[in-house]
Amino acid sequence: MACDTVPYAGPVTSCLAVAIDLGGTKVESALIDESGAVVEGSRHRSPTGRNSTSTQLEESVLATFDRAVASTPKNSSIIGVGIGTAGPIDVTNGHVSPLNIPAWRDFPLRDRVAAHARTRVGNVPVRLRIDGTTITLAEHWLGAGVGVSNMMGMVISTGIGGGLILDGRIVSGRAGNAGHIGHLEVAGMTGEATFGGIGSLEAIASGPHTVAWAVAQGWPGSSGEELAASYATGNATAVAAIRRTGQAVGQAIGSAAALLDLELVAIGGGFSQATPDLITIIRDTVAKHYFSYVRALRVEPSGLSGAGPLVGAGALIHRAELVP
Contact yes or no for 272/302 (Cβ under 8 A)? yes
Global pTM value: 0.88
pLDDT one-digit tens code per residue, 151-182: 999 989 888 989 999 999 899 999 999 998 99
Residue 14, pLDDT score: 86
Cα–Cα distance measured from residue 82 to residue 318, given in angstroms and rounded to the nearest whole number: 9
Contact yes or no for 154/161 (Cβ under 8 A)? yes
Residue 71, pLDDT score: 94
pLDDT one-digit tens code per residue, 70-127: 999 988 999 999 999 988 999 999 999 998 899 999 999 999 999 999 999 999 999 9
Q: So where are the chain's domains?
A: 14-130, 144-301
Domain 14-130: CATH architecture, name and number where available = 2-Layer Sandwich (3.30)
- Identical fold at 14-130 and 144-301? yes
pLDDT one-digit tens code per residue, 251-285: 999 999 999 999 999 999 889 999 999 999 999 99
pLDDT band at 194 (very low <50, low <70, confident <90, very high): low
CATH of 144-301, picked from 3.40.50.300, 3.90.870.10, 3.30.70.20, 3.30.420.40, is 3.30.420.40
Residue 160 pairs in a beta bridge with 156
Longest CA–CA span in the chain (Å) reads: 64
pLDDT band at 8 (very low <50, low <70, confident <90, very high): very low
* End-to-end Cα, the chain, rounded Å: 26
